[in-house]
Structure 1
Amino acid sequence: MCRFLTYSGPKALMSPLIFQATNSLVMQSKYAQKRKVPTNADGFGLGWYPTQDDPIPATFVNVDPAWSNRNLKMIAEKVETRHYFAHVRDASKGMPVSQANCHPFGCMHYLWMHNGRLDQFEKFRRPLLNMLTNRAFDLIKGNTDSEYAFALFMDKLGFIANASLSQLEQAMEATIETIMLLRKEAGADSNAFINFAVTDGYHTLVTRFATLKEAKPASLFFGQGIISNNNGMIDFTPDTSNSACIIICSEPPTENNGRWTKVERNHIVCASGHESVYQRPVNLPFQAELG
């Protein structure tokens, strides 16, 4: 599985969270603290929204380990943005390491990431493909379960250009519901780890979800506060003022873990810009039956 983080806040460089923090995303690509296999070296990706009047995000992905790519460091140190996604990949068994398989994936002004795996994907890949519209089918350039899930999400959203937070939430839950139904019909009875993240450049939604009751979902945290640099030490102080940012992450990037909120099992985190963030249970009518 992978590691990722999202940032929404005042205009800032990406390097503090990606490179400089004690448990930065690049550090997690080598020594992840909250997963059994600590290395995430099968590529990386950035997606960020320009500060000029342009709603379409830029993306930069590569198959290098995040710690060895000089262009990643240059972009993180020089490009300012108010909203970005960052991801380091640990490819699932059987999934090729290629640029087409690196997150985040994009469509219109939406970005998508996944930490986890849809176990036994080969059993329900074809049924999932068969239900996609042509527009969603044409989105798929690689062969990861993550990108297929994004195509399904865009269909559930109806490719709406100006979706509300409620519409994004409904599409996310409908995506998980459909995946679980497809898995049940195909006899995929092992656990699926579903930490999906999606943004439209303002709203951000991230799930922490496992399909089996006895399974522990991949880690997820969030915080609202101010990032500061104290003599080279990146700190995070809880705050809800206009100067604050909202970060949703697989692991807290700073040492003061008590300042981060752990996302509960089978919950979804919803953020609106850098103004508000909350978590709530994922609402699936048949969840108890399947879990």
Structure 2
Amino acid sequence: MCRWLAYFGDPIRPEELLYEPRRSLIEQSRSSGPDAGIANADGFGLGWYGLSDAPGLFRSSLPAWGDQNLRELSAQIRSPLFLAHVRAASAGMPVQQTNCHPFKHGKWLFVHNGYIADWPHLRRELTMAVDPDLYPYIEGSTDSEVMFYLALTYGLEDDPLGALERMAGCIEAAGYRHGTEHPLQMTLGLSDGEQVIAVRYASGPEVNTLFVSTSVHDIRLLLPAEERFRHFSDEARVVVSEPLIDLPGLWHEVPPSTALIVRDGPDSEDLPFVPRMP
């Protein structure tokens, strides 16, 4: 499985989350969580919001842990909102830069952990459902990128959560028509530079994990000696596929079939996620 994280808060250096925690994203790329024998070695990406209206993007098909450019870049950038991803390619998916996350279109960044089941059989139908005006922007061959462009097709600009639900509904309907029992497995992260939207959902009973950090203010009270939290703003949040460090009370597991919205303010918002047909 892939791994990803999203950060929202006062500007920090991405290396503070990519490299410094005990179970940093880079460490997870060497061997991840319950699948400790599986390395996320099939590429990585970092997307961040800074001085430009559009996000910056750095991707490579190389393993994240050996890329010195990522190390240098993440130590020099300061950003209030960024998404990072380490990839374990699904069977048959090429290892190439255009298949690495985040995917970018305009102001949007998108990361995904999971799969569309029976993708080779569903690929043509789902790709053809993408708006013809958006189709030329698809560069790679992954199911994840098509998911992103389906969400753009179904109204991401005006109704992000509704667009994601319609994207999921479209995929499930196509899968069921082809006899696929559990068409969709996903945790995904999405941003327009103003908010982070994260979703945990699967068609079947097994759902990939997703966590969000709890109040930084509360963590400071519990762990006053932890220097790493002193410069994080009270509203700072980190959304992760799996925890970066093991500290009591630091992580809240996002329930299945839930969308999490992180934006300015002290609290994140949990909403039910229900796929529906476009």
TM-score w.r.t. structure 2 length?
Answer: 0.90
Give the fraction of aligned pairs with identical amino acids, expressed as a percent. Answer: 29
User: Aligned AA for 1:96?
Assistant: P
User: For the residues of structure 1 that align with 2:229 and 2:242, how far apart are their CA atoms?
Assistant: 13
Which secondary structure state, in structure 2, belongs to the residue aligned with residue 64 of structure 1?
A: coil
1:243-258 mapped onto 2 (5 Å cutoff): 243-258=234-249
Aligned residue number for residue 109 of structure 2: 111
Which of 213, 225, 228 is the aligned partner of 1:223? 213
Which secondary structure state, in structure 2, belongs to the residue aligned with residue 193 of structure 1?
A: strand
> Is 1:182–2:174 an aligned residue pair?
yes
Contact 2:170 2:276 in 1 (8 A): no
Which of 60, 63, 76 is the aligned partner of 2:61? 63
> Is 1:154–2:152 an aligned residue pair?
yes
Which secondary structure state, in structure 2, belongs to the residue aligned with residue 198 of structure 1?
A: strand
Contact 1:123 1:187 in 2 (8 A): no
Aligned residue number for residue 160 of structure 2: 168
Which secondary structure state, in structure 1, belongs to the residue aligned with residue 88 of structure 2?
A: coil
User: For the residues of structure 2 that align with 1:175 and 1:191, how far apart are their CA atoms?
Assistant: 12
1:131–1:191 Cα change, 3 Å: closer
1:278: Cα distance to partner? 2.3
User: For the residues of structure 2 that align with 1:234 and 1:91, how far apart are their CA atoms?
Assistant: 36
Aligned residue number for residue 289 of structure 1: none
1:78: Cα distance to partner? 1.0
User: For the residues of structure 2 that align with 1:78 and 1:224, how far apart are their CA atoms?
Assistant: 27
Contact 2:64 2:70 in 1 (8 A): yes
Contact 2:200 2:208 in 1 (8 A): yes
1:220–1:122 Cα change, 3 Å: same
User: For the residues of structure 2 that align with 1:145 and 1:36, how far apart are their CA atoms?
Assistant: 24
Aligned residue number for residue 9 of structure 2: 9
> Is 1:135–2:133 an aligned residue pair?
yes
1:281: Cα distance to partner? 2.1
User: Aligned AA for 2:208?
Assistant: A
1:190: Cα distance to partner? 3.9
Which secondary structure state, in structure 2, belongs to the residue aligned with residue 47 of structure 1?
A: strand
Which secondary structure state, in structure 1, belongs to the residue aligned with residue 186 of structure 2?
A: strand
1:192: Cα distance to partner? 2.6
User: For the residues of structure 2 that align with 1:169 and 1:217, how far apart are their CA atoms?
Assistant: 19
User: Aligned AA for 1:4?
Assistant: W
Which of 224, 247, 250 is the aligned partner of 1:259? 250
Which secondary structure state, in structure 1, belongs to the residue aligned with residue 270 of structure 2?
A: strand
1:157: Cα distance to partner? 1.5
1:153: Cα distance to partner? 0.6
Which of 194, 200, 209 is the aligned partner of 2:192? 200
1:185–1:257 Cα change, 3 Å: farther
1:37: Cα distance to partner? 4.5
Which secondary structure state, in structure 2, belongs to the residue aligned with residue 147 of structure 1?
A: helix
User: For the residues of structure 1 that align with 2:253 and 2:234, how far apart are their CA atoms?
Assistant: 23
1:141: Cα distance to partner? 0.4
Contact 2:234 2:266 in 1 (8 A): no
What is the number of residues matched between the two proteins? 271
Over aligned residue pairs, what C-alpha RMSD do you find? Answer: 2.3
User: Where in structure 2 are there 5+ consecutive unaligned residues?
Assistant: none
Contact 1:21 1:234 in 2 (8 A): no
Between 244-253 and 265-274, report the one with greater CA deviation. Answer: 265-274
User: For the residues of structure 2 that align with 1:25 and 1:257, how far apart are their CA atoms?
Assistant: 19
> Is 1:49–2:49 an aligned residue pair?
yes
TM-score w.r.t. structure 1 length?
Answer: 0.86
1:13–1:48 Cα change, 3 Å: same
Kindly provide the CA deviation profile for residues 247-277 of structure 1, in whole angstroms up to 9, marking residues without a partner as x: 1110111121531100111211111146431
User: For the residues of structure 2 that align with 1:257 and 1:216, how far apart are their CA atoms?
Assistant: 25
1:278–1:257 Cα change, 3 Å: farther
User: For the residues of structure 2 that align with 1:234 and 1:176, how far apart are their CA atoms?
Assistant: 41
Kindly provide the CA deviation profile for residues 37-94 of structure 1, in whole angstroms up to 9, marking residues without a partner as x: 44111100000011x2x22001000011111000000011111011000000000000
1:284–1:149 Cα change, 3 Å: closer
User: For the residues of structure 2 that align with 1:274 and 1:91, how far apart are their CA atoms?
Assistant: 36
1:132: Cα distance to partner? 1.7
